[in-house]
């Protein structure tokens, strides 16, 4: 799919906690720029996680320098528009966006362009205090093309979204939290431990419930309120039919800790 593929894996995969998969972007020499090979490998990792009943939550991260600096500009130089406007890349992005389980991004350092757009696919963003978020495509005569014009506007509102995309200037972690892009801000050395603890806490909850919460909340960004409320009620009805719900209310009545299942 891409050019000059490295012998090193582009995505490092671990299982650091029960029910939690950790994916780390691994192109440090390019500040974790998103090449076609990388986004394809990441989509494959998410497909595997979606089909693995032992994975209940995924944490996505980069390294201390960069979550991701954005799209691979060298690929754009070599391939022109086809570097980012191709069907395989579109399918890979859609695969990640459609991941049905909870996804948390642990963002440290630079989170620019396509990297920021990737972070916005997460359900929860935890930012290191040194993180910076930006959409700098205007600086090379482009506009965002992996969702920022739509998602960023929905998340932070028209005025701030316009400012970020028209100036290309970054915002810091505290600003990201204040405008709703990040849920937590922690010291850089605590980023991964904090995020994994959060993921582990979510992984102890009923898998069906967290999946249904995600589907219902995401519907709020794509539907009118009336339709979103209809979807919420439908997801609630689905939750009532799960074994985990029956176990949850039984445990409540018996005044004991629930024993939730491992699958949806």
Catalytic residue, from 113, 114, 115, 248: name it.
114
> How many beta carbons lie within 10 A of that of residue 254, not counting itself?
9
In b/e form, how buried is each residue of 146-164, taking b as 16+ CB within 10 angstroms?
A: bbbbebbbebbeeebbeeb
Of 66, 137, 182, 239, which is the active-site residue? Answer: 137
Q: Please report, in angstroms and rounded to a whole number, the separation of the first and last CA atoms in the chain.
A: 34
Domain co-membership, 108 together with 194: yes
Task: Point out the domain boundary residue: 203, 219, 241.
Answer: 203
Contact (Cβ atoms closer than 8 angstroms) between residue 57 and residue 105: no
Is 237 inside a domain boundary?
yes
At 264 the pLDDT is 55
**86 and 192 within one domain:** yes
Is 114 an annotated catalytic residue?
Answer: yes
In this structure, the answer to whether residues 116 and 25 fall within a common structural domain is yes
Residue 78 falls inside a structural domain:
yes
Q: What integer pLDDT is reported at residue 262 of this predicted model?
A: 59
* Sheet (strand 110-112) strand order: 66-68, 110-112, 132-134, 171-172
Point out the domain boundary residue: 179, 203, 227. Answer: 203
Structure confidence at residue 6 (pLDDT): 63
- Domain that residue 150 falls in: 11-203
Instruction: Tell me if residue 174 is catalytic.
Output: no
Beta strands in the chain (DSSP E): 11-17, 20-25, 57-61, 66-68, 103-107, 110-112, 124-128, 132-134, 171-172, 184-186
Sign of the alpha-carbon torsion through 5, 67, 180, 142: negative
* 5 part of a folded domain: no
Same domain, 216 and 115: no
| Catalytic-residue membership of 71 | yes
pLDDT given at position 222: 87
Nearest to 96 by CA among 143, 147, 137: 147
Question: In the annotation, is 54 catalytic?
Answer: no
Mark whether 213 and 186 lie in a shared domain: no
CA dihedral 157, 185, 67, 175 (to 10 degrees): 30
Residue 116 and residue 42 share a domain:
yes
Catalytic residue among 71, 106, 127, 173: 71
In a domain, 260, yes or no: no
- Does residue 83 share a domain with residue 24? yes
In terms of domains, do 118 and 223 share one? Answer: no
Q: Is residue 132 part of a domain?
A: yes
User: How far is residue 201's CA from residue 48's CA, in Å, rounded to a whole number?
Assistant: 22
Together in a domain, 242 and 191: no
Q: Tell me what pLDDT residue 190 has.
A: 98
SS3 148: helix
| Residue 91 and residue 134 in one domain | yes
Q: What is the pLDDT along the chain (264 residues), one digit of tens a residue?
A: 444 556 799 999 999 999 999 999 999 999 999 999 999 999 999 999 999 999 999 999 999 999 999 999 999 999 999 999 999 999 999 999 999 999 999 999 999 999 999 999 999 999 999 999 999 998 999 999 999 999 999 999 999 999 999 999 999 999 999 999 999 999 999 999 999 999 999 999 999 999 999 999 999 988 888 988 899 899 999 999 999 999 999 999 999 999 998 555
**Which residue out of 92, 113, 117, 134 is catalytically annotated?**
117
Token pair of 137, please?
């495509």
CATH number at residue 246: 1.10.12
CA distance 200 to 191: 14
Q: Does 147 share its domain with 234?
A: no
pTM: 0.92
Q: Name 172's bridge partners.
A: 132
pLDDT given for residue 87 in this prediction = 95
Q: How many CB atoms lie within 10 A of CB 244?
A: 19
Give the pLDDT score at 225. 84
Domain match, 220 and 176 both: no
Cβ atoms of residues 207 and 249 within 8 Å: no
CATH number, position 103:
3.90.226.10
Residue 134 resides in a domain: yes
Provide the number of structural domains found in the chain: 2
The answer to whether position 110 is within a domain reads: yes
Residue 32 covered by a domain:
yes
């Amino acid at each position: 799919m891409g050019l000059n593929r490295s012998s090193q894996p582009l995505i490092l995969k671990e299982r650091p906690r029960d029910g939690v998969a950790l994916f780390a972007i691994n192109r440090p020499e390019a500040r974790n720029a998103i090449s076609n090979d990388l986004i394809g490998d990441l989509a494959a990792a998410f497909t595997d996680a979606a089909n693995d009943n032992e994975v209940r939550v995924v944490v996505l991260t980069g390294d201390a320098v960069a979550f991701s600096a954005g799209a691979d500009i060298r690929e754009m130089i070599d391939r022109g528009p086809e570097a980012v406007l191709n069907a395989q890349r579109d399918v890979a992005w859609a695969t990640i966006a459609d991941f049905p389980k909870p996804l948390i991004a642990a963002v440290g350092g630079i989170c620019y362009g396509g990297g920021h757009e990737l972070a916005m696919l997460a359900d929860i963003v935890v930012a290191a205090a040194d993180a910076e978020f930006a959409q700098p495509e205007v600086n090379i005569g482009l506009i965002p093309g992996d969702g920022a014009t739509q998602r960023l506007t929905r998340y932070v509102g028209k005025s701030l979204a316009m400012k970020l995309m028209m100036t290309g200037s970054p915002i810091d972690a505290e600003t990201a939290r204040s405008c709703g892009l990040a849920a937590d801000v922690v010291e850089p050395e605590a980023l991964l431990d904090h995020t994994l603890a959060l993921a582990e806490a979510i992984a102890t909850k009923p898998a069906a419930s967290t999946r249904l919460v995600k589907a219902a909340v995401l519907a709020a960004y794509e539907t009118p309120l009336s339709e979103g409320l209809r979807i919420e009620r439908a997801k609630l009805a689905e939750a009532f039919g799960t074994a985990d719900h029956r176990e949850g209310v039984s445990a409540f009545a018996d005044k004991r800790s629930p024993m939730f299942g491992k699958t949806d």
